[in-house]
Chains A and B, each alone.
Chain A
């Protein structure tokens, strides 16, 4: 388990660092996806969670879910091309789960990647901690949260 700024990042997951999305392979070619707890903490109160419709496709770095607070809006952007297979209906009903349990009950979608190279650019294992620390130090996320 990597620990960065008081947030734990399970090392068995795959991370799209730039978009702060984690992916967990489910063994049938699909992946569970959610925001990291670090990103969720930046959001504050989440009032609405809106996933892209079932069966719809998405492209790398394009939105596949939206989260809305009272004073801000944020897009969850994909780390690869794919399609939406399932939603977390519980999160639709209780968006606060995203900030309360980002790696657990606050998961957002189950997606199916299109193409075999979907893991390109994702980070996993022992590399997670240093990569995220370096990314945070770079400060590029501030462009999205300003």
Chain B
């Protein structure tokens, strides 16, 4: 089995557009269920999704009780690891204490670039 890693970067996904929010976490869940190590980095405006209470308040589909947080939990349950951006947290005036429990912590830009440039990593951006 290939141990190739998948890094999913949410950078252009805007929490104000709920229809954009299902796919990244769905792909993360599927890839993790297929035994690939998966890391999901949320930065820029999408960084808000790692803050407590934000994803919980967004329904992917109008009238459907399933929230973005439910999809984050599904992907996390399948083995995906979630990361926030330290500069992003600082921009929003938040700290690691404000992150949802499914978020592993912060991934700096250098760590992300190192992963992106590595031979064993593939990247999906949203």
Number of A-B contacts (CB under 8 A): 25
Q: Within 8 Å of chain A (Cβ to Cβ): is B54? A: no
Smallest CB-CB separation from A68: which chain B residue?
B30
Question: How many residues of chain A are within 8 Å of chain B by beta carbon?
Answer: 13
Smallest CB-CB separation from A72: which chain B residue?
B74
Q: Within 8 Å of chain A (Cβ to Cβ): is B111? A: no
Instruction: List residues of chain A with CB within 8 A of the CB of B66.
Output: 71
Mask: chain B, 13-49; 1 = CB below 8 Å from A; 0 = not: 0000000000000100110011100000000000000
**Interchain CB contact under 8 A, B34 and A75:** yes
Q: Within 8 Å of chain A (Cβ to Cβ): is B104? A: no
Interface residue range, chain B? 10 to 19
**Interchain CB contact under 8 A, B1 and A74:** no
A58 to B1, CA, bound (A): 7
**Interchain CB contact under 8 A, A73 and B35:** no
**Interchain CB contact under 8 A, B33 and A63:** yes
Q: Smallest distance from the beta carbon of A109 to chain B beta carbons, Å?
A: 15
**Interchain CB contact under 8 A, B1 and A75:** no
Q: Within 8 Å of chain A (Cβ to Cβ): is B77? A: yes
Smallest CB-CB separation from A58: which chain B residue?
B1
Contacts A59-B1, A62-B1: A74 and B33 contacting too (C-beta < 8 A)? yes
Instruction: List residues of chain A with CB within 8 A of the CB of B29.
Output: 73
**Interchain CB contact under 8 A, B1 and A73:** no
Q: Within 8 Å of chain A (Cβ to Cβ): is B59? A: no
Q: Within 8 Å of chain B (Cβ to Cβ): is A26? A: no
Instruction: List residues of chain B with CB within 8 A of the CB of A59.
Output: 1
In the A-B complex, the 5 residue pairs with the smallest Cβ-Cβ separation, listed nearest first, are A75-B33, A73-B29, A62-B35, A73-B33, A63-B34
